[in-house]
Amino acid sequence: METWPGNAYPLGATYDGSGTNFALYSEAAERVELCLFDETGAEQRIELRDVDAFIWHCYLPDVLPGQRYGFRVHGTYDPVEGQRANPNKLLLDPYAKATCGSYDWGQSLFSYDFGDPDSRNDEDSAAQSMLGVVVNPFFEWAGDRHPRTPYSQSVIYEAHVKGLTQLNEEIPEAQRGTYAGLAHPATIDHLHRLGVTAIELMPVHQFIQDSTLLDRGLRNYWGYNTIGYFAPHGSYSATGDTGQQVQEFKSMVRTLHEAGIEVILDVVYNHTAEGNHLGPTLSFKGIDNEAYYRLEQDDKRYYTDYTGTGNTLNVQHPHVLQLIMDSLRYWVTEMHVDGFRFDLASALARGLYDVDRLSTFFELVQQDPVVSQVKLIAEPWDVGPGGYQVGNFPPQWTEWNGKYRDTVRDFWRGEPSTLGEFASRITGSSDLYEHSGRRPVASVNFVTAHDGFTLRDLVSYNEKHNEANGEDGNDGESHNRSWNSGAEGDTDDPDVLRLRARQQRNFLATLLLSQGVPMLSHGDELGRTQHGNNNGYAQDNELSWVHWDAADEPLIEFTSALIRLRSEHPVFRRSRFLDGHPVRRGEDEPLSDVMWLSPSGEEMQPEDWDADLARTIGVFYNGHGIRERDSRGRAVVDVNFLLCFNADADDVDFTLPPAEYAEQWEVVIDTAGERADAIPRLPGSVQTLAARSLMVLRAYEGPEAEPDLSVSASLAALSGAAVEDADAEEQP
């Protein structure tokens, strides 16, 4: 085959319309061979003779898209010194834009003989390995543009490509569980019905199946086991893993953008699928082990593990940082995604040991003209010492607010002494974010996510039930801050079912009316259950998939109406923190932008906050205290709202605030479903809050001043409908 020198940049396999340039970084290599495979598996080896700054490269004018390939790296094999080069192991290109095949787990994929970790195994692994595929980068985007929805207007929907679509019978069978299924009108119609603005996809970077799970008849479902940071996961493609998955992914993004929905990727740059010193040699280990991974300095056979997966990527190395940044830019510029959620992001910020808010990774992101302009969401913890860093990421970042999740769960299950922190969490967590110059939108609020109970299970189980995982209950979080509402798991007790339905509405209403950016976990609005399994990482089956035929329709409508209410009233999605400053409206006496009220209708006093058994609180939002302007520069104003939270096991009488707050009040939401109506309430009147319920009241100024009464009526009716529905037997 004709071979030209090629270029050291860009890395990976790059087709330019005439041929393909190949480039691989390896400082550990003494020789590198590019291996081309035909459809029969026959291999042709081409030695890369041109090297610039440890980048081995060539250009092959005869290689077109669809070509399958890998690398063999010759060099020193001395694990004690951190060197694991072995040319008998075919290696996947870290920059492969697509892959084909899968790993057939066996001895050949490992560099040692089973049972003897200190030995060297020289079996050839090509026949059992995943291959890279040269892709055609050209695609008709048809004027596609990023929606660029402001954080303050965003509602994020965390979803799994397969789990969301696999059981949706409105999607053609061949497209279920795929990128094409996600772009199908049935999926988009549901997202539109809810009103979400962004879908956050669980890992779609190419990942692999764990041999330990396969041996137990399970599969890696979540996908936090990345081997290729540029390639869309092949098995999520309706067209198969032939390289066409790239085109299918792009089509999905284009279609979602046409629907006004952003695409955010959950990315795993903290570790790879190669595991610890007993893991396989698939790519990075054999290319340049010491560069790509953090190694224990006293014995470099072993890997530093801040992730709980066996290894941690070495983000102190410039070529690892380049890999991450090149990958991020690729997914924005070539695949048109709108942002990233960084799994175990604290691991990316570690220096030698500690998490460093000013680490090189953050500096690179800050100055990058592409990556800095998209949504950046941190999971602000890892499993290493000092890894819990909620509130400590740089100003440009938003964070999964784990403290919000924990506090809201504790409040609604009736834990004592939660009022103070609950108040902080639902108003944007200024104690966590204001000191770094960030705003309420820095807090990505969530009650549930993929990791843990679903919303329905959160109110149905006290304990995890992970028997299906085959780990004797040792996996998954044991402290779930959940409450089963009076019976563990399935029940036909109508009182328990009614309470569970109410608690789900409490959580949803709290989440969607809190300051910050709300994130829903897919299927929570449908009443999805995993029957108490809080760690479905290995359950690629109907336990984890969304059952569309068992959807809780009243709960869907309730969720949708809440999102509309949030969208129509900027008082629930402020871009600045509430600070209690007085706001004047015309000639009236000024009112604070926020006021915390006790059940007596009076402002909370210090002793009220500290009362152990206090579980009821009201918050007044001044619609004239937003201090923002719309796109035309006009001051943004809203009506006043009063939110009354009662997590007590008994009904509580709540005195509505005096006339200066509102001439009359209208109940917009009553999660108990018993008193939601359009009848105005007078100031100073007593409103009974049902046990464990949330009531939202709006200043009533007459029908002619209320353009969105339909939302109020919808929420009122749905609250009652959901209670009536709870009398039916629990759905499977």
**Residue 29: strand pairing partners:** 75
Can you tell me the distance from the alpha carbon of 305 to that of 356, in angstroms, rounded to the nearest whole number? 17
91: which 2 tokens?
A: 């290696």
Do the strands 443-445 and 398-400 form a parallel or antiparallel pair, or are they unpaired? parallel
Q: Please tell me the number of Cα atoms within 13 Å of 693 on its side-chain side.
A: 25
Residue 674 CB burial class (10 angstroms; 0-12, 13-18, ≥19): middle
Do the strands 29-37 and 43-47 form a parallel or antiparallel pair, or are they unpaired? antiparallel
At a CB cut-off of 8 Å and minimum separation 6, what does 668 contact? Answer: 565, 641, 676, 696, 697, 698, 711, 712, 715, 716
Amino acid code (one letter) for 582: P
Classify 251 as helix, strand or coil.
helix
Helices (H) and strands (E) in the chain, counts: 16, 30
Which residues participate in catalysis according to the annotation?
343, 379
168: which 2 tokens?
A: 């949706």
Do the strands 156-159 and 517-521 form a parallel or antiparallel pair, or are they unpaired? parallel
Find the helix or strand (DSSP H, E) in which 409 lies: helix 402-412
Short-list 586, 468, 603, 629, CA closest to 537: 468
Phi, psi values for residue 220, rounded to 5°: -75, 110
Mark out the alpha helices in 293-355 (DSSP H runs). 318-333
Strand order in the sheet with 594-597: 594-597, 616-621, 641-646, 693-699, 665-670
Classify 107 as helix, strand or coil.
helix
Residue 74: count other Cβ atoms within 10 Å of its Cβ.
16
CA dihedral 467, 468, 471, 475 (to 10 degrees): -80
Can you tell me the distance from the alpha carbon of 271 to that of 294, in angstroms, rounded to the nearest whole number? 10
183: which 2 tokens?
A: 């772009």
Short-list 656, 655, 687, CA closest to 672: 687
Can you tell me the distance from the alpha carbon of 442 to that of 515, in angstroms, rounded to the nearest whole number? 10
Cα angle for residues 697, 702, 703 (degrees, 5° grid): 95
179: which 2 tokens?
A: 């990128």
Can you tell me the distance from the alpha carbon of 485 to that of 500, in angstroms, rounded to the nearest whole number? 6
Residue 567: count other Cβ atoms within 10 Å of its Cβ.
17
Q: Would you say the C-alpha torsion 478, 479, 484, 486 has a positive or negative sign?
A: positive
Amino acid code (one letter) for 197: T
Q: How long is the chain? A: 732
375: which 2 tokens?
A: 């949504």
At a CB cut-off of 8 Å and minimum separation 6, what does 265 contact? Answer: 200, 201, 203, 204, 205, 331, 337, 339, 340, 341
Q: Are 126 and 72 in contact (CB under 8 A)?
A: no
Largest CA distance in the chain: 88
Q: Please tell me the number of Cα atoms within 13 Å of 486 on its side-chain side.
A: 13
